[in-house]
Structures are given as C-alpha cells and as structure tokens.
Structure 1
Amino acid sequence: MSDHYQVLARKYRPHTFGELVGQTHTKKTLINALDANNLHHGFLFTGTRGVGKTTIARIFAKSINCEVGVSSKPCGVCATCVEIDKGQSIDLIELDAASHTGVENMRELLENAQYMPTKNRFKIYLIDEVHMLSKSSFNALLKTLEEPPEHVKFLLATTDPKKLPITVLSRCLQFTLQQLTHEEILGQLKFIMQAEKLSYEEPALSQIADFGNGSMRDALSLLDQSISYGNGAVTSKDIKAMLGLVHHDDIITLAKHLFNQDAKAIIKFIRDLSHRGENLTNALKDLSSLFHQISLAQIITDEASAQIQQLAEHISNQDLQIFYQMAINGSRDMALAPSEQIGFEMTLLRMLAFHSDINNQQSAEKKTLKITAPSPKNQTIAQPVTTSKAKKIAQEIVNKPAVTAQNKPLDISNQTQWEALSQSLNFSAGAMILVKNTVFNSFASNTLTLTLDEQFSNLLSAHVQKSMLACLKVNNPELTLVINLDKPSEQTLAQKQTQAHNQYLAGIQQEFLNDAIVQKLEQTFNAKVDVNSIREITNH
C-alpha cells in the first residue's frame, strides 16, 4: 500500500465519459458535440453537490485538448491528459469563485484570456461555484463571455443557478445534472469494494447509498469512514452503530403498534429505544421510508416482501398518506421539540389522533396485527353519549349484530344478508372498502355475483379481488366471484353508512345550535356559529 492514502472520491474519480456514473442526457449531448467538433464557447453545469459537475468539466477539458485530437474519448496517456488529471495543466485555469469573489481577481484572470494557450489547443477557464461571484465580477466576465477569443472556453459550475444573472445564463449552454439514483450509487460502491478487495455486506452498502442522498461524493466519503470504522470491512452492524440507525425490525414493530392503535405500546417502545441510546430522528425517517414501501406494496404486490405485504393489508392508503405527511412534518419539527424523545412521541400520538374516515368506519372490523402473540379481535364500539334519532339510525347501520360466518356455508339471497355477511368476515382494509361499495346480485352454483359502482372502478385491483375471494372461500372453497361495473340498483353499505353519519352529524349540529347558552353567545357578540366546525368527538 502507498504511504500516501488517497480518499476514494479522488482515487475513483472518472477520467472518461465511459467511467462516469449516471447523467446520461448530459453525456450524450457532450459526446455528440465533441465527436462532431461542434463546440460552444461557454458551458454551465448545475446540480447539487457531488453529482459530477467539475468531473464532467475536467473530462471535457481533456477531450478538447488531448494531443491525439478533439473527441469524446481522450487517450488519457498523453502529457496533456496526464497534466489535467493531476491538476497541473497550465492551460486549464481553475478558479474557486467562493474564495475569489472580488472584481480584481476576475479582471486579472480575463486580461490573460487574449493570449494564446501556452501548449494546448484551448485555454480553458473552469470556474466552480460561479454564483458566488460579486456583481462587479459578473460584469467583468460578461464582455469576455459574450465575445470570447476562439482559443478560449468557459466551463462554469454551480449548485445554485438561480443566483446567476440572466445575461450570463443566456450566453452559456446549460446542463442540469440530476441526483444519482440509489442503484447507481450502490453499483459504484460495490465496484469500489471489489476493486479494493475488501469484504462487505450489500445491505450495509445500500444504507450508505441511502445516506448519500443522490450525491456520489457524500456516499464515497461515508464509505471511507465505514471502512476505517470496520477495519477494512463494511457490515450492517457497524453502519448501524456508526450512524446511530435503528434496527429495521424495531421500525416494523413500531409500525404494527401504530396500525393497531396501541398508544401505550407505542410510548413504551419509544422509551425503550431512547433508553438504548437510539437516534430517534433517524428512526422517524426510517418510519417514513417504511410508509413509502407499504404504499408501493399496495400497488405493486410482486416486489414487496411478505413482511411489508402483511402490513399493507392492514392499513388503508388514506391513513398511509396521513401518517407519511405527519412523519415528514415531525422530522422537520424535531429540532424544535423540548427533546428528541418528546418530538418522536408527539408525532406518533398525532398519527393516532388523526386517521381517515374509512378507518374510523372499519375500526371495529379490522384484523389486529400480530406482534408477539395472537391478539383477540377487538369488536367493541364506544357507546354514544346522546340519544338523538339520527344517532340511533347510524348505530343500527354501523353496529349491526355480527353473524358468525366461520364454518358455515355461504347462503345469501339479498343485499341485507350480503351486508351482514361482509361485516362478519375479516376482510383486509382494501378489500373491505371494495365490499362496502358493492351490491348483491345473485348467488347460485357457487358463483357470487356483485355490482360495483362505476365511479369506484379504481378499487377493483387484482390484489384486492384476490384478498376478498380468499376471505370468502374460508366457508366455500369452490366459490367463484364475479364483480360487474355498473350503476347499482340500490344503496351500497358505504352509501348507507355515509347517509346515516350525515344524519347523525346534522342532529349533533342542530342540538348544538339549539343550546340556550350558544344562542345567548350569538346574541351577545352578534355572531354566527360556523356549522361546519361542529364535529363528533370520537375516542380511539
């Protein structure tokens, strides 16, 4: 091994367009321009840190100054290519605009632009973080950039193109470099580990790629740190310890507690994580990522693991969207919380307090997720406080006596029986939404025919139908299910529940408006109650 250690980001910096990872569109444009020798005088490379802006600029500089000739494939062995790779080329003038913002620096630089290059074909000005230049410096650059000598090329790089004057932007060809994908970064990390002949675990490299957040340089810096920490090996255990990551199984368990609406278990689990010294901010980010994976699993079932698929069957997409948004907001607000633990706890409690109407209707029917041992199905529904007529109607529809369907053959002949049956079976969340929007047609020769309202055709996915049929087949293994898209001949269970809930809510609102104290307040302050703000208070 050499006495002088070279960091991986520099050791494995691409030297040709072929070695460059990602940035396909930029590479294609530059390669075509170089091969056709159709070169503009000004190029602007924009993008976040570590995506290859200066690397592409240096490859481009080699391509146009290579002693073999102008092409997209510089030889890499001639004196000019070697000098550019080592940063020793006298005709490649690199300027860090962040530390040379003054107009004097720019004038001195541009005064030499009129002179021919010392030994190469072109004199190249590579200005990094060009947006940091002062207004006077931009004005000094503008004239030369507008009418440059034929032997001069400008390569500008910036992470913030919005700060550049429009007059500069209009005189350059702009290339927007994209953040690298997880797969692109992971592939390069594996290549480097194999080239260095070091041992690694692929899940560990995958976590490093995630933390790179689209930046190859950030990922390689973290890989350097990981190799040192693991004494030449990169393992998931070391990555977890080094970055303060929470174990994936812990995140899964926390999600199960959340889906089961078990507040006590959630608080106890968070306190256990805190007591173990886990990074709760990272845990919340991992939980957000898990919500994303579950959402994808509800759409693309083939790519999901069995563990993720199980979670996907016990939570509605509406709740996932709410939970994900709250997790993102909670991560942003974590720094403002009195402590990391309090911020994490309040974010999870907020998720428990706000969940979709669909899940409110299904809370008595949903199958409880198993965490350590089978839990009894919770079929208790809180009893109403008031006894208005509308509330009684809602209770009769939502809380119909459940008929135990287990081990009994399927025998239904009308919509009422279909609704009673549907509420007695343990349908998944997605299947239950579909069931509630169907109307019974017929049941004969082990074929159950239903009608689904056309406006809910998006619910009719293959995955949901499969889940629904599997539940119905518990008692009728030979059952065949047919669902037609049409306008239902009568109200669906979902429509009845919505209508009953609206009647119940209207009753609550009217009771509130009829209250003597409320009316007195309206008169005293010459005000009107916002009826839409009157809502039922539910206990979860």
Structure 2
Amino acid sequence: MSQHYEVLARKYRPHNFQELVGQTHTIRTLVNALDNNNLHHGFLFTGTRGVGKTTIARIFAKSVNCEEGVSSTPCGKCTTCLEIDKGQSVDLIELDAASNTGVDHMREILENAQYTPTKNLYKIYLIDEVHMLSKSSFNALLKTLEEPPAHIKFLLATTDPKKLPITVLSRCLQFNLNKLSHEEILNHLKFIMDEEKLNFDESALSKIAEFGNGSMRDALSLLDQSISYGNGCVKEEDLKEMLGLVNHNEIVKLAKLINNRDAEKILSFVKDLAHKGENLANALRDLTSIFHQISIAQVIQDNNQMSSEIADLANSFSAQDLQLYYQIAINGQKDMNLSPSEQIGLEMTLLRMIAFHPDYDDREKKNLKPTPNKKSKVIDTAAPKESPESSSNLREPNEEINKLDIKNQKEWEDIIKTFDFNGAGKMLVKNTVFKSLENQTLVLTLSSDFLNLLTPKTEDSIRNGLHKQYPAVELIFEPGETNGDSLSQKESVEREQKRKETESQFLSDDGLKELQEVFNSKVDLKSIKSIKESDNV
C-alpha cells in the first residue's frame, strides 16, 4: 500500500523557533520571555494568512509544557511535545472562532478554565480568527482574560486586529507578524525541493514565491500543485502553462518596444499575444515587475545580481521613464477589470505610456493630435490661391493669436480660476501643478490619484477651454506627486483651517459651556457650520 501523501505545508511546518522563517522580532521577544520564565497570560498574534500565527502559538505551547521544563527549546520528543504536534493534547484547547461564534459555546469552554490542567503545567487556549467572535462571546472571554488563573495562557490569532475590542487588546501582548519577503519564501522553497530530492528551475520557484505574496502557506500550496502538474519536477515552462503566464522573453521584448515608443509594433505585439491565448492581465503584471527590476538594477549597478537582459535594459531606460511607466502600469492593473476586454485594457495602458512621455513629439502625435478649437472659415474656391507666405492674412480683421505666458504655480492657479473648465475637467486641473511652459507647450504634473479622470473627453474639454484664448497652446500631463501644491490641496487645507476656527469660536462660547454643564451633554462637532454654510444648505 502506498504511503499517505502529506501536503508540504503540514510536512514542513516548523516544530521549534529555530525552524521558523522570518518574524525575527517576535521570536526574539518570545525566546527571552521563555528563557527567563517571564510569561504574560495573554498573547495576540496578528498578520495576514500564512505568516506563522498559529504555528508560533503551537511552538509556544510546547515551550511552556515540555516535560523537560519551560524554555525556548522544547525537546520535541517527550509525550507532551508529540501530542501537541499531532493536535492531541488535552491541555491545548484550540478553537476556531469563525465557526464557533456563539456565547454558549464560549462560556462552556471558559467554565472549565478554573480547573487545573490534566497533565501539563499550563492549560492553553488557542483561539484562531478571534475577531470573528460575537460581542457576547468577547464579554465572556474578557471576564476570564482580566483575571485568569495562574495555570491559564491565552494565545489569540487574528488577521483583522481592528475588529477586536480595545478591552481585549489592552490585556494581551500584541505581536504583529510581517509578510515574508520574496527571498525568505524562495530560500525555503529551495530547501524543501532539495529535501524532497526533486528537480526544479530556480526561476520557477522565484515565480511561485512572488505569487505567494508574503504568505508561506500560499506559496507551499502552489508548490504542491506545481509538483503534481510537472510529475515531480517544477519547471518554468510547466508553471507558465499551469498559471497562464507569458514567457519572460516576451515581456522583455515588450519592454524594449515601449522604450522605443513604437506604437504600431506594440499594438501588433499585443494582438499576437491575444491570438496565442496568453493571459494579458498577467502580462501587464509581469511588465510592471520588469520595470521594478530595471529600476533596482540602475541603483545597485551590480551585474552579478542581475541577468544580462535586465542589465542591458537598465542601460537603455532613463530613471524618469521607468517611474512614469511603472506608475501607469500600476494604474492599468487597477483598470483592467473595467476595460471591455483584456486586450483593450493592455493596449490603452501601453499607449498611455507613450502619450505621457515628455518627448512625445508631433511626429508621434500624427494620429492622436487634437484639432485646435478654432472658428472655421469659408474660403471662396474661385478666389486666387493664397501663397504660404500670405496664408496668415486669412485671419479675421483685428484677430490676434494670444500667447500664454505663465511662469509659476500661482499664475497657473489664476488661469484655473479665470477659465471656464467644466465638471471633471475642473476637478482635474485643480489637482495639477505647473511644471514648465516652452514654445507654447504647457507641461502639468497631475496627481497620480486623479489619473482615472484623464479620459480623452476630459482632456479635450480642458484643451478647448484653453484654446478659446490661447489657440496655440499644447497641453501635456505628467503623472506625479503634487506634494500639497495643487489648488485643490490648498483649498482643502484652507477649508480645514476655517472649520477649526469656526469650531473653536463656537466651543469657547460661555453660554454653550453652561448649557453643556447643565444638561451634561456634548456638542456634535459635525453639526457646527458657519452662517454662510448654513445658508447654502
């Protein structure tokens, strides 16, 4: 009979603090407390899934109940340690709060807390996802948590500590567990594959570690799936087929096309990917990762830590371009689900990288350049043809071409307040900061939080507003940080200052203070408004 298969997450679950991956700050604190026998009665472990909350709690349970004595190094061989590892210890009461939220069940469990442990030094309550308990259950828990018997230890674990009552938080030592780093997960995956004596591509394990997103359990589950798919091997090509990933070489090629700003070849490339049935959302995600790798390569400048293709790309991209492309790619991922199709979403994201580039010149704009909003003129076809030199005389009498002349943010804000920008256009320009004006090309830094408003319709609306007085102006938006300098941010600060002044004046009134004292009441701060605000309601 074949041996029963044990999933990797269970088979390689750490049995002591030395085997744990990451969480050094938590381990150090617990080790010192255990070795000095200076133990609190309540511990709360918080963090996302798969970072070691319940694993640390079980190791702690072994450490305090090991038959060789309390220490940070349980023997792992005594009856107690083995029972805890197998989940068979009568003095370790594990409760899943997600499926046991009722107060009656909690009371029944806690009523037994007064009795001494059956065989160990401590009776330990391990409550997972403790934030799922009902309000009544929390109240029942709190009574025991406030003044627990000396033989009781509470180990609480949660992915959402914000939902815990402050009364519970204040009675526990809290340990915030971090997501595991890519390197920590990758090294552990390689260790497991070596222990299992299985073949693997390191690039495939690196991709699995990336998909783990800081969770060791998620990464190990994907590794299990990859081993089965590859019949005992984890290869990059198999992983690509299993997850619908785009070949790395294809992503590198796409990055080169973007650097060359060749729109036609980019669209053709995306079309080919779509016809091959590639996952285009993953393609955009991988492209974003490539931009990050290139940026890191430019900073560390160590060819031993990067592939030759990344090193070549690092020499061809500018740091400014990478920041622009990365920001657009991140926002493109958010918008992908809103696009009519993945292909359209990816194409528009890549075209945005080209259109927002500072060096996007007239030759590149030939198919996208907006038509200036000028009055159309009727020309008599029977009239003599004008020479190029005399074509400027076709303007209306007394018509002048005004030239925009602003030099700073203050002058740009005056334009915003003066011109008739409508709806989303008004909101968008108020969240821009003046960057430069050269040869009637106005460059504005647009807050990255408002990139979703930059639709072709909104952009045309803003241009049309400017062209009414300055028809020669070209407009370029660059995503970036406005750092509190935009008109919208200044107005927000001003409103907040006025609100605080109004609130302060109102609360300082002697009559109000007397009313509060007589009726033992408090003012609803949200209800305080200036007379002007009240009139507008």
Q: Give the TM-score of the pair, scaled to structure 2.
A: 0.69
Name the structure 2 match of 1:105. 105
Specify the SS of the correspondent of 2:156. strand
Which of 318, 321, 324 aligns to 2:320? It is 318
- CA pair 85-498 structure 1, distance change in 2 beyond 3 A: closer
Q: Aligned AA for 1:202?
A: E
- CA pair 277-360 structure 1, distance change in 2 beyond 3 A: closer
Q: Aligned AA for 1:108?
A: E
Name the structure 2 match of 1:255. 255
Residue deviations 1:428-485 (CA, integer Å, cap 9, x gap): xxxxxxxxxxxxxxxxxxxxxxxxxxxxxxxxxxxxxxxxxxxxxxxxxxxxxxxxxx
Counterpart contact for 1:97–1:132, Cα < 8 Å = yes
Specify the SS of the correspondent of 1:313. helix
Specify the SS of the correspondent of 1:76. coil
Which shows bigger deviation, 24-33 or 182-191?
Answer: 182-191
1:40-439 correspondence to structure 2 within 5 Å? 40-302=40-302, 303-355=305-357, 357=358, 359-360=359-360
Residue deviations 1:397-422 (CA, integer Å, cap 9, x gap): xxxxxxxxxxxxxxxxxxxxxxxxxx
Q: Deviation of residue 318 (structure 1)?
A: 2.4
- Distance of 1:5 and 1:105 partners within structure 2: 34
- Distance of 1:532 and 1:72 partners within structure 2: 75
Q: Deviation of residue 342 (structure 1)?
A: 1.4
Q: Deviation of residue 314 (structure 1)?
A: 3.0
Name the structure 1 match of 2:474. 536
Counterpart contact for 1:390–1:500, Cα < 8 Å = no
Q: Aligned AA for 1:351?
A: M
Q: Deviation of residue 260 (structure 1)?
A: 1.2
- Distance of 2:287 and 2:104 partners within structure 1: 52
- Distance of 1:98 and 1:297 partners within structure 2: 45
Counterpart contact for 2:22–2:180, Cα < 8 Å = yes
Specify the SS of the correspondent of 1:175. strand
- Distance of 1:230 and 1:2 partners within structure 2: 20
Q: Aligned AA for 2:203?
A: P
Specify the SS of the correspondent of 2:270. helix
- Distance of 1:27 and 1:532 partners within structure 2: 65
Q: Deviation of residue 156 (structure 1)?
A: 0.3
Specify the SS of the correspondent of 1:77. coil
Q: Deviation of residue 208 (structure 1)?
A: 0.9
Q: Aligned AA for 1:146?
A: E
Q: Aligned AA for 1:536?
A: E
Specify the SS of the correspondent of 1:210. helix
- Distance of 2:438 and 2:129 partners within structure 1: 63
- Distance of 1:265 and 1:164 partners within structure 2: 54
Q: Deviation of residue 24 (structure 1)?
A: 0.6
Q: Aligned AA for 1:283?
A: A
Counterpart contact for 1:128–1:157, Cα < 8 Å = yes
Q: Deviation of residue 307 (structure 1)?
A: 2.1
Specify the SS of the correspondent of 1:155. strand
- CA pair 390-252 structure 1, distance change in 2 beyond 3 A: farther
Which of 407, 420, 439 aligns to 1:501? It is 439
Counterpart contact for 1:9–1:217, Cα < 8 Å = yes
- Distance of 2:318 and 2:470 partners within structure 1: 26
- Distance of 1:39 and 1:47 partners within structure 2: 22
Counterpart contact for 1:131–1:160, Cα < 8 Å = yes
Which shows bigger deviation, 335-344 or 278-287?
Answer: 335-344
Q: Deviation of residue 261 (structure 1)?
A: 1.3
Specify the SS of the correspondent of 2:73. coil
Counterpart contact for 1:21–1:184, Cα < 8 Å = yes
Residue deviations 1:333-383 (CA, integer Å, cap 9, x gap): 21221111111111112222212x3x458x99xxxxxxxxxxxxxxxxx9x
Residue deviations 1:303-340 (CA, integer Å, cap 9, x gap): 44332233233333222222111211111221221111
Q: Deviation of residue 389 (structure 1)?
A: 10
Specify the SS of the correspondent of 1:93. strand
Name the structure 2 match of 1:469. none
- Distance of 2:275 and 2:6 partners within structure 1: 39
Q: Aligned AA for 2:25?
A: H
- CA pair 348-65 structure 1, distance change in 2 beyond 3 A: same
- Distance of 1:120 and 1:208 partners within structure 2: 41
- Distance of 1:309 and 1:200 partners within structure 2: 25
- Distance of 1:501 and 1:105 partners within structure 2: 76
- CA pair 534-157 structure 1, distance change in 2 beyond 3 A: farther
- Which structure 1 segments of 5+ residues have no match? 365-381, 392-496, 507-526
Q: Deviation of residue 528 (structure 1)?
A: 10
Percent identical: 69
Residue deviations 1:104-163 (CA, integer Å, cap 9, x gap): 111111111111111110000000000111111111111111110000000000011111
Which runs of structure 1 show a deviation greater than 3 angstroms over 4 or more consecutive aligned residues?
Answer: 303-306, 384-391, 497-502, 527-535
- Distance of 1:264 and 1:159 partners within structure 2: 47
Q: Aligned AA for 1:332?
A: K
- Distance of 1:244 and 1:123 partners within structure 2: 49
Q: Aligned AA for 1:30?
A: L
Residue deviations 1:265-319 (CA, integer Å, cap 9, x gap): 1111111111111111111100000111122222222244332233233333222
Q: Aligned AA for 2:96?
A: D
Aligned length: 394
Q: Deviation of residue 500 (structure 1)?
A: 4.4
- CA pair 332-528 structure 1, distance change in 2 beyond 3 A: closer
- Distance of 1:533 and 1:126 partners within structure 2: 71
Q: Give the TM-score of the pair, scaled to structure 1.
A: 0.68
- CA pair 150-277 structure 1, distance change in 2 beyond 3 A: same
Q: Aligned AA for 1:65?
A: N
Specify the SS of the correspondent of 1:298. helix
- CA pair 14-2 structure 1, distance change in 2 beyond 3 A: farther
- Which structure 2 segments of 5+ residues have no match? 364-368, 375-391, 393-399, 404-434, 444-464, 477-537
Q: Deviation of residue 235 (structure 1)?
A: 0.7
Name the structure 2 match of 1:25. 25
